[in-house]
Amino acid sequence: MTHRRAAGAAVLVAVAIAAALVIALRHDSGAARGRSDVRRSLAAPPAPGLAAPAGEAYGVSVNRLFNDATSTPGQLDAQLSALRATGATVARSDALWEASEPTAPRAGLHHWVWTFDDTVAGALADHSLTWLPIVDYTAPWAQSVPGQDHSPPRSAADYAAYAQAFAARYGAGGAFWRAHPGLTARPVTTIEIWNEPDNGEFWTPAPDAAAYARLYLAARAAIDAVDPTARVVVGGLTNPTAFLPAMIQAVPAMAGHVDGVAIHPYGTPSVVLAKVRGARATLTALGMDAVPLYVTEFGWTTSPPGALDYVAAARRPSWIRSTLATLGHLDCGLAAVVLYTWVTPQRDPADSQDWFGIENPDAAATPDSGAFIAGLRDAVAPRQPLACGG
């Protein structure tokens, strides 16, 4: 899925400062220095995969709300209040390495600028939402293809250093929560490593299963060194039936050290179901049946007709509700279900990315957000489980 991103780190920082006012947090200086523990963590044997979490979490992506850098503090508060009122507990959004480490480390010392990430963490916690972060994309100084933030980093250790610092700040007992005792802590418990690494648009110039496997293991080891309770999830895959076997073939040791696999099963409701079942069958064939699945994106645009993942506006509410209900009762080992996405600008009829949002830009309820509420209710209602095997 193509995600809209902010115009640049400077814009992100500016909107973060403004948004911080709405949650009345006393931020620290926004920067920290420290020597990375990544080399130490990579030297240790990787920890085995964590057990699947109890129950299933439901939520929606909010990346456009933060990344577009267009929301006023009041608009941000209104949107997150409306989201929490649906019953959702999880909000998925980027943790931007490029904004948090704009300059390269010197003599092994990293200089972190936490303004953007602090704003996301604080705003979500203030609305009783748990952040499901995607740790991406490559900082300018670390890009393997200069000028392409979707290119993988030249060094997995540099990426892992950010992932580790992020977990130490926002995970269980993290520095951010200690610095803001007046805020009810909602520590990050699950971290996605990259977004769609099997999609050439997000892993430029072309997907590389072996390189991604190494990046995942480096990040997971680094995170485990500071927060062993965090679940580190393979980034949202568009084609898990092909990419998962390729990763395991390239790096066989990875099989026993995965906490979860996130997937993006776009398509009609029946296609969504088939893709989830296919992902589970693939994990089973790889001897990884205990690894939970996270559906971290699915959804539809309502403009223009004929666009990828298009559905007529009148039909989308029924698709939202029925898909949530089905996934809620599907016995495929799902740990989370996250719809894409909460709000989009609804400006350009020719731009499909402007019409995935289920809530109005003014936070007024819509048939889609009503269907989301109903779908969450259906998903947790007592019902006979739906067999994963079909």
User: 21 pLDDT band (50/70/90 cuts)?
Assistant: very low
Percent of the chain with pLDDT over 90: 83
Q: Where are the domains of the chain?
A: 15-387
The closest of 357, 375, 385 to 68, measured between CA atoms, is 357
Please give the distance of CA 13 from its chain centroid, rounded to a whole number: 20
Q: Compute the distance between CA of residue 223 and CA of residue 226 in angstroms, rounded to an integer.
A: 6
User: 55 pLDDT band (50/70/90 cuts)?
Assistant: low
Per-residue pLDDT tens digits for 71-124 = 889 999 999 999 999 999 999 999 999 999 999 999 989 999 999 999 999 999
Phi, psi dihedral angles at 89 (to 5 degrees): -120, -10
Residue 328 has pLDDT above 80, yes or no: yes
What is the CB neighbour count within 10 angstroms for residue 241?
15
User: 35 pLDDT band (50/70/90 cuts)?
Assistant: very low
The closest of 328, 331, 330, 335 to 374, measured between CA atoms, is 328
Residue 27 has pLDDT above 60, yes or no: no
The closest of 232, 167, 177 to 37, measured between CA atoms, is 167
pTM attached to this predicted model? 0.91
Average pLDDT over every residue of 361-367: 96
The closest of 233, 56, 218 to 153, measured between CA atoms, is 218
pLDDT at 251: 97
Q: What three-state secondary structure class fits 331?
A: strand
The closest of 82, 95, 89, 70 to 18, measured between CA atoms, is 70
Q: Which residues, other chains included, contact 17 with Cβ-Cβ below 8 Å and sequence gap of 6+?
A: 115, 119
Q: Which residues, other chains included, contact 66 with Cβ-Cβ below 8 Å and sequence gap of 6+?
A: 15, 19, 93, 94, 116, 119, 120, 123
Instruction: Go through the chain and tell me how many residues it has.
Output: 390
The closest of 49, 146, 128 to 86, measured between CA atoms, is 128
The closest of 355, 376, 341, 364 to 66, measured between CA atoms, is 341
Q: What is the DSSP string of 53-120?
A: PSS-EEEEE-HHHHHT----HHHHHHHHHHHHHTT--EEEEEEEHHHH--S--BTTEEEEE-HHHHHH
Average pLDDT over every residue of 245-267: 97
Structure tokens at 224: 């485990």
Average pLDDT over every residue of 182-197: 97
pLDDT at 49: 66
Q: Compute the distance between CA of residue 139 and CA of residue 116 in angstroms, rounded to an integer.
A: 14
Q: Compute the distance between CA of residue 138 and CA of residue 194 in angstroms, rounded to an integer.
A: 10
Place of tokens 């602090």: 118
Q: Check residue 55 and give left, alpha or beta (phi > 0: left; psi -120 to 50: alpha).
A: left
Q: Which fold has domain 15-387?
A: TIM Barrel (3.20.20)
The closest of 67, 80, 158 to 125, measured between CA atoms, is 80
Taking a C-beta distance cutoff of 8 angstroms, is the pair 297, 289 a contact? no
pLDDT at 69: 81
